[in-house]
Structure 1
Amino acid sequence: MRYNKGMEKSDLTAASATENQAEIAALKARVSELEVLVKYYEEQFRISKHRQYEASSEKSEYDLAQLSIFNEAELFADINVAEPELVEVEKHYRKRTRLTTDKLPENLPVEIVEHDLPECERICPECGGPLHVMGRDSWDELVIVPAQVKVRKHVRLVYTCRECEKDEYGVPIVKAAVSEPVIKGSFASPEAIAHIMTQKFVMGSPLYRQEKELQQNGIQLSRQTMSNWLIRATEDWLELVYEALHEMLCNHGVLHADETTLQVLREPGKTAQSKSYMWLYRTSGDAVQPIVLYDYQPDRRSKRPAAFLKDFKGYLHTDGYEGYHSLRSEITVVGCWAHVRRKFDESLKALPERDRESSNALRGKRYCDHLFELEREFSSLAPEERYVKRLAQSKPVLEEFFEWAVSLNAAPKTGIGIAVHYALSQRKYLEHYLLDGRLEISNNRAERSIKPFVVDRKNFLFANTPREAKASAVMFSLIETAKENGLNPFEYLVYILKNAPNWNIRDNPDALNLLMPDSARRSICATATSRTPA
């Protein structure tokens, strides 16, 4: 500050004090900002540490089953009632047995190996008389034989007429009827293609591993040939079944959707490191015949689900991704309370242990736990009864939760702030599960269905081309749909690849319907029954 002769000393002192107060206020504001930032970084550090070193399960000692703000036993307990008298029970010991869930199917073939004494040893060691069979000891062993590989040689008999052969022309030639191959001009069989598919998409064994395994058995079958078989069989036959399942899927009133990333190396206009996406759509718990379909797309834009669901009208369970919120008005998006609970759970784990018990993060998590507990109670009810129960019991809890969330005014760059903001921004969609008793409180059904692809992706890592990625989506769809319907994926794929080339499924809808999971199950079971020896 420049000193002017006309300025009084008191004026200078007041001006300096004002400047100092402004500087102090600015520094205090800066310190407050830095404290919030440090707290945020500490929370992120604890979350990162938890993800790296601790279990990924969201269950904890703070769950509703262990300790709850909605504990009715504590709420309605009568302190005037005397405690029951305790009676000491005499100690006793119980023989421990190993509990196991291992179980062998009853229809496995049984090989009987009988161990007998040689005839010369069937003599009593005491009196020298003949021995007779008193009883039999028996035990079972599970025998596993590695995959057997063989060549199926087709020999077709060709007939002609001896009498007509005497003439110079007009000799008829009659050939025995044969089934159409799955790939013309190839030595691929339905069983071989189905085996390669299930090894890759069920067992997570990439083609290069399968190539090495076959080489150990003396079979030189390159991964390029196997890849060509899978793509050709998918494009010729499996895509037709996929499209029929897609049409059936869109006729349902309740669906689930989710998406995950996929790397495609040779995608036009994109680098090999860029992200593509595998979208998932599936039926809900009310479906008699579950359907799980994957859809490969080069990006995550909202037009992708809009195109896939262009014929769908009803409820769609999703996570909080905004791309679903711009769908047509005929589609009602239903939010996921599991994601809300996860946000509060992460916020809780980001806090020091000493602060968790009285935290807002724990309170928010317990609100979610209470809603899930009510859903478990309603799980056995019919949709109509569940709808009434939700309005009577779940809706008040839900409304109380949002009133509490609004009253917090939590700082946005904190764990609790992120959780509260997510819940409030999704409120419209989170309340929609109360609209219909068929709806579910979460989108966990879709997350469980997309997990097998995520696990297998760790093994095959990427797709080489968009064509391969699209074929992978079709194959994975039929495999997961088979599993959801209680079908063996290998048997279902063999059933399709054997019959599709011979049933004219492109022009005959009735024949195509016979390849749907429900029809296939009956046919496969009937075939297995006929082969079982009496």
Structure 2
Amino acid sequence: MTTPPDLNSLDADQLRQLAAQLLAESAESKKLIHNQQLLNDKLKHELAILKRHRFGKSSEGLNAHQASLLDELVQADIAAIEMELSRADTRAKLEKRQPKRAPLPAELPRQVIEHEPDSTQCTCGCQLQRIGEDISEKLDYTPGTFTVERHIRGKWACKHCERITQAPVPAQIIDKGIPTSGLLAHLLIAKFADHLPLYRQEKIFARAGLAISRSTLAEWVGRCGVALQPLVDALREELLQQPILHADETPVPMLAPGKKKTHRAYIWAYCSTSTAVVKSVVYDFAETRAGANARSFLDGWQGKLVCDDYSGYKAGFSSGITEIGCMAHARRKFYDLHVANKSQIAEYAMQQIQRLYEIEREAKELTAEARKQQRQQQSKPLLDNFHQWLLMQRQKVPNGSATAKAIDYSLKRWQALTRYCDDGAVPIDNNHVENQIRPWALGRSNWLFAGSLRGGQSAAAIMSLIQSAKLNGHDPYAYLKDVMQRLPTQRASAIGELLPHNWTPADKV
């Protein structure tokens, strides 16, 4: 703690400097308070809109199935906002409907976990006497089995000084709730990896004798999203340390509360290469496909970006980002042409690209430097000949024809398409990130739409951890269960230990 200066010992100049410093600190403090108030006001306004939808009349533009799914998403958003507000002001007492909790079924197996003080010796020197206990039960889940954790916290008292000692309540992702980290992990995996909407999970719980409403499940999902966000932020920071990244985007329907129609939002995916030491993917949910979304995510990053020909990425190519083209996209243009009219030009082009991929398969297990040498010796001469052939064929076909468009795609991006030959760590195509996009395409047919920008961002955060865990060879259920158990007590400076590429299970630490 800094010792305050003796004002009597300061001269006039020192007093003026001290006054200026205090004024500056006061202004900065007022600015922080003002910004926090603005954020709180924004969150409260968003909360009011969501509650009006949740407890008001449902939109007539939605069928019963869609309305049910939207209610789940809205409830998750409400829980997330309430959790953020409570973090901003621990004194805030938010109005909330507290349902009466039913006891967990007696027939479920129970694991007794006792929590006792480290010492039963009072500070006054007397021996503590056990005078009772507090019991709480939490619902746990391991794949295929529901069990109950019965936590017993003994109460110990000193007869001399009447002091009561009790072991602290173990920190949880959801304080005073019944779910363990195992159950929460199962809930998230089922929703975001197995694409099971909450109303289906509600029915599965009911068949096991557990009456847990989908609104409660949605609340748990919302709170998990907020709790896991710092981990996703840390994952993004580490991803942006990589010199080579993939990027791609895919549309996702989004329906905001109060609207009768969905509009097209987008999931942007950014991931390291398949040969990188750090294997990770981070999803970014945005309401539009505007290139500003990519610029915002990649702000300050300089490296080699493997992407398609979407114009949204191009603004970054003038600020230190090097464009790497996707040979698979070039091949796709010729493939579509060949399917349409059995074009001999398209067939020959596909054969040349196939030879390039055969060289890549042979070089797959090589080091980056050895792969570069092989590309220089084998791929580069082939590409040079292919380029000359494309230029000749382009002169023979009319402008505007399907063949001209297929050839032009490759010629206009030729430099970007062939840069992979100069760096053995750079992939030949963007297929790796397209594989990371696939879970979203599968999910669209099950959960239909995102309910809000906040809900989409929360889903993107949770999916980032699940998919990154898979990339590192982890069981995503085991990963999330362990991480959510450790996260409440993990030091902020050590949060990197819980990232998928650094993670070691607690029982092996």
TM-score where L is the length of structure 1: 0.65
Map 1:107-122 → 2, pairs under 5 A: none
Give the helix-richer structure, 1 or 2.
Answer: 2
Deviations 1:399-456 (A, max 9, x none): 2222222222334554323311211222231122123111011011111111122112
Residue 415 of structure 1: which of 397, 402, 420 is its match? Answer: 402
Map 1:7-156 → 2, pairs under 5 A: 147-156=144-153
Q: Percent identity?
A: 33
Which residue does 1:486 correspond to in 2?
A: 473
Residue 425 of structure 2: which of 434, 438, 444 is its match? Answer: 438
Q: In the alignment, does 2:329 pair up with 1:344?
A: no
Cα distance in 1 for residues equivalent to 2:414 and 2:181: 50
- Contact preservation (8 Å) 2:479, 2:505: no
Structure 1: state its 5+ residue gaps. 1-144, 165-170, 528-534
Structure 2: state its 5+ residue gaps. 1-141
Task: Give the number of equivalent residue pairs.
Answer: 365
Cα distance in 2 for residues equivalent to 1:392 and 1:312: 32
- Contact preservation (8 Å) 1:482, 1:517: yes
How far residue 297 of structure 1 moved from its aligned partner, in angstroms, is 0.8
Deviations 1:233-280 (A, max 9, x none): 1212x1111111111101111111111011111079x87321100000
- Contact preservation (8 Å) 1:395, 1:434: yes
Letter in 2 for 1:312: W
Question: Residue 284 of structure 2 aligns to a residue in which SS?
Answer: strand
Deviations 1:15-59 (A, max 9, x none): xxxxxxxxxxxxxxxxxxxxxxxxxxxxxxxxxxxxxxxxxxxxx
Cα distance in 2 for residues equivalent to 1:415 and 1:227: 49
Q: In the alignment, does 2:292 pair up with 1:298?
A: no
Which residue does 1:454 correspond to in 2?
A: 441
Greater Rg over alpha carbons, structure: 1
- Contact preservation (8 Å) 2:275, 2:425: yes
Cα distance in 1 for residues equivalent to 2:414 and 2:485: 50
Residue 520 of structure 1: which of 495, 503, 509 is its match? Answer: 503
Q: In the alignment, does 2:298 pair up with 1:313?
A: no
Cα distance in 1 for residues equivalent to 2:311 and 2:506: 43
How far residue 498 of structure 1 moved from its aligned partner, in angstroms, is 0.5
Letter in 1 for 2:158: C
How far residue 340 of structure 1 moved from its aligned partner, in angstroms, is 0.8
Q: In the alignment, does 2:499 pair up with 1:509?
A: no
Map 1:21-420 → 2, pairs under 5 A: 147-164=144-161, 171-236=162-227, 238-266=228-256, 272-327=261-316, 328-351=318-341, 355=342, 359-409=344-394, 410-420=397-407
Question: Residue 282 of structure 1 aligns to a residue in which SS?
Answer: strand
Question: Residue 439 of structure 1 aligns to a residue in which SS?
Answer: coil
Cα RMSD (Å): 2.0
Letter in 2 for 1:515: L
Cα distance in 2 for residues equivalent to 1:189 and 1:522: 17
Give the strand-richer structure, 1 or 2.
Answer: 2
Question: Residue 348 of structure 1 aligns to a residue in which SS?
Answer: helix
Cα distance in 2 for residues equivalent to 1:518 and 1:318: 24
- Contact preservation (8 Å) 1:179, 1:502: no
Letter in 1 for 2:350: K
Change (3 A) 1:336 1:496: same
Cα distance in 1 for residues equivalent to 2:249 and 2:144: 35
Question: Residue 369 of structure 2 aligns to a residue in which SS?
Answer: helix
